[in-house]
């Protein structure tokens, strides 16, 4: 890669982004009352000097305040995997909120049991409870796992992401020892007091850590999706299940992103048998919603424990969790939008997307790789595809990433910030995918000179 050429191209695309987006640029410059000038600090993770401001979004399309329309492969980093404002969800939300009235009355609705039953059909776990975010689903699952096992620690894969969960901000060093993830903001305590870590795809490291006998649960994605996509090697997930059972450690699958693998995520697609499962983002069709599931046996054991305050201030739950609006949106999403048939179509489209990326990489004999997990695909600047989070982290290239994101955005295509990732929704079309293939090829041709 000619770095000088890359930097010149990046400067050109940054200037083009400024030229094309005066209103976004002005809005950002004027946002004096927002911490970091954005409604959420991570919105500063954008290629270029300012974020594009949202005007509207529908299906697989987003428009900005400068009047540009985008094919959206970001899809709210999975929050909009159902497409933006899908009709069935819009209708259910309107009915719940406007027609019946009431979003948050501290009373259950009958939709919740329908959703619980559907989650059981898809993921296998027998009992469900709701949250508003995947982060909270993970937090509460962790607490329940500690309570039921009486053990203090949770084990994570290095370079995982499970939301802003204190215990998860741990990485493995070269000898496998754990330490705080760089940049960890105001950690409540030294992370090794609460956590252990092992590289993904490394059963020997997992066994070594579990042998301490203090791990309540392994909380993991069945494939890493937040440091590129790192797929499990044959036998790895079966090994994780066998080792966790042998050491009396619970297994929690976080399917928030791996839901892209199919209607039941990787758990359904690969017949996995976690003790608990967490999910958020997409299941609400754009309305905040999350959930965790647990086996009947685990649920019964927890409910029988007189010392655990599961009802009031024991540390599990939130006032708005399970609210009528979120649950209605989740029902509509699962019943009408992210259906088995939709996943089938999205997976096929994603194969087409992946083939387009692979063709671009091969045409320029780049040492890059591309991985796919159902409706989600991501490329990394290394080949063969990384086996661990640490290997994948080492392949990051901020300038290259920024150039590709800006090049695509300036030509009407959005990828996910933080990723070279594309996600398909039920409204994505073959034409959308082919447009990406075309623009991606043009970007590579410019890089090649």
Binding site residues, ligand PMP, CB under 6 A: 77, 133-135, 161-163, 221, 226, 254, 256-257, 280-281
- Of 161 and 343, nearer to ligand PMP (C-beta) is 161
Between residues 77 and 401, which has the closer beta carbon with respect to ligand PMP?
77
Name which of 9 and 197 has its Cβ closer to ligand PMP. Answer: 197
The distance of closest approach from Cβ of residue 389 to ligand PMP in the complex, given in angstroms and rounded to an integer, is 12
158, two tokens: 């290095």
Question: Min. distance of Cβ 230 from ligand PMP in angstroms?
Answer: 12
Strand 195-198, strand 153-157: pairing: parallel
- Name residues whose C-beta falls within 8 Å of residue 100's C-beta, 6 or more positions apart in sequence: none
Q: Are 326 and 108 in contact (CB under 8 A)?
A: no
Which residue's CB is nearer to ligand PMP, number 256 or number 410?
A: 256
Give the other-Cβ count within 10 Å of 363's Cβ: 12
Q: How far is the CB of 387 from ligand PMP (least distance, A)?
A: 19
Which residue's CB is nearer to ligand PMP, number 96 or number 281?
281
CB of 158 to ligand PMP, least distance (A): 15
Looking at the Cβ atoms of 125 and 444, the one nearer to ligand PMP is 125
Identify any residues that bridge with 307 across adjacent strands, giving them in sequence order.
Answer: none
Specify the residue, 94 or 184, whose C-beta has the smaller distance to ligand PMP: 184
What is the C-alpha separation between 285 and 403, in angstroms, rounded?
A: 31
CB of 227 to ligand PMP, least distance (A): 10
C-beta of 122: minimal distance to ligand PMP in Å? 17
Query: Under 8 Å CB-to-CB from 213, ≥6 apart: which residues?
Result: 151, 247, 248
Q: What would you report as the CA-atom Rg of the chain, rounded to the nearest whole angstrom?
A: 22
d(CA 341, CA 258): 17
Nearer to ligand PMP, 224 or 433 (CB): 224
- Using left for φ > 0, alpha for ψ between -120 and 50, and beta otherwise, residue 2 falls in beta
- Which residue number has the CB closest to ligand PMP? 163
Supply the DSSP string of 250-273, one letter for each residue: EEEEE-TTGGGGSTTHHHHHTT--
Report yes or no: 142 and 165 within 8 Å, Cβ to Cβ.
yes
Q: Please state the closest distance from residue 157 (CB atom) to ligand PMP, in A.
A: 11
Dihedral class, residue 349 (left if φ above 0, else alpha if ψ from -120 to 50, else beta): alpha
CB of 134 to ligand PMP, least distance (A): 3
Q: How far is the CB of 154 from ligand PMP (least distance, A)?
A: 14
DSSP string, 89-136: HHHHHHIIIIIII-S--S---THHHHHHHHHHHHH--SEEEEESSHHH
Q: Which is nearer to ligand PMP, 419 or 436 (CB)?
A: 419
């Amino acid at each position: 890669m000619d770095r000088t050429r890359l930097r010149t191209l990046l400067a050109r695309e940054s200037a083009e982004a400024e030229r094309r987006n005066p209103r976004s640029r002005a809005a950002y410059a004027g946002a004096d009352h927002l911490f970091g000038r954005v409604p959420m600090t991570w919105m500063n993770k954008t290629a270029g000097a300012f974020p594009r401001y949202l005007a509207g979004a529908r299906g697989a399309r987003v428009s900005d305040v400068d009047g540009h329309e985008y094919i959206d492969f970001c899809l709210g980093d999975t929050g909009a995997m159902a497409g933006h404002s899908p009709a069935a969800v819009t209708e259910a939300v309107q009915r719940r909120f406007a027609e019946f009235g009431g979003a948050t009355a501290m009373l259950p609705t009958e939709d919740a049991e329908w959703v619980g039953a559907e989650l059981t059909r898809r993921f296998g776990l027998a009992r469900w409870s709701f949250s508003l975010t995947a982060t909270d689903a993970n937090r509460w699952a962790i607490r329940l796992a500690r309570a039921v096992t009486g053990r203090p620690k949770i084990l994570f894969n290095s370079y995982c992401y499970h939301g802003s969960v204190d215990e998860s901000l741990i990485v493995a060093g070269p000898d496998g020892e754990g330490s705080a993830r760089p940049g960890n903001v105001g950690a409540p305590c030294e992370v090794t007091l609460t956590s252990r870590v092992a590289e993904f795809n490394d059963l020997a490291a997992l066994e070594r850590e579990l042998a301490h006998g203090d791990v309540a649960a392994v909380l993991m994605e069945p494939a890493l999706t937040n440091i590129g996509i790192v797929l499990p090697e044959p036998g790895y997930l079966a090994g994780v299940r066998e080792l966790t059972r042998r050491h009396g450690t619970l297994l929690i699958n976080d399917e928030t992103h791996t839901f892209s693998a199919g209607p039941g995520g990787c758990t359904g697609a690969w017949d996995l048998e976690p003790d608990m499962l967490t999910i958020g983002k997409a299941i609400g069709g754009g309305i905040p919603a999350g959930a965790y599931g647990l086996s009947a046996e685990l649920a019964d054991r927890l409910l029988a424990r007189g010392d655990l305050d599961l009802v009031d201030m024991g540390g599990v739950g939130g006032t708005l969790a399970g609210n009528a609006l979120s649950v209605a949106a989740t029902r509509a999403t699962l019943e009408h939008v992210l259906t088995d048939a939709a996943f089938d179509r999205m997976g096929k489209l994603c194969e087409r997307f992946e083939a387009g990326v692979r063709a671009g990489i091969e045409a320029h004999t780049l040492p890059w790789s591309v991985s796919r997990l159902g409706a989600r695909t991501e490329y990394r600047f290394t080949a063969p595809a990384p086996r661990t989070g640490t290997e994948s982290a080492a392949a990051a290239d901020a300038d290259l990433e920024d150039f590709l994101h800006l090049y695509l955005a300036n030509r009407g295509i959005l990828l996910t910030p933080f990723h070279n990732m594309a996600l398909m929704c039920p409204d994505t079309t073959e034409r959308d995918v082919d447009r990406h293939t075309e623009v991606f090829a043009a970007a590579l041709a410019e890089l090649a000179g």
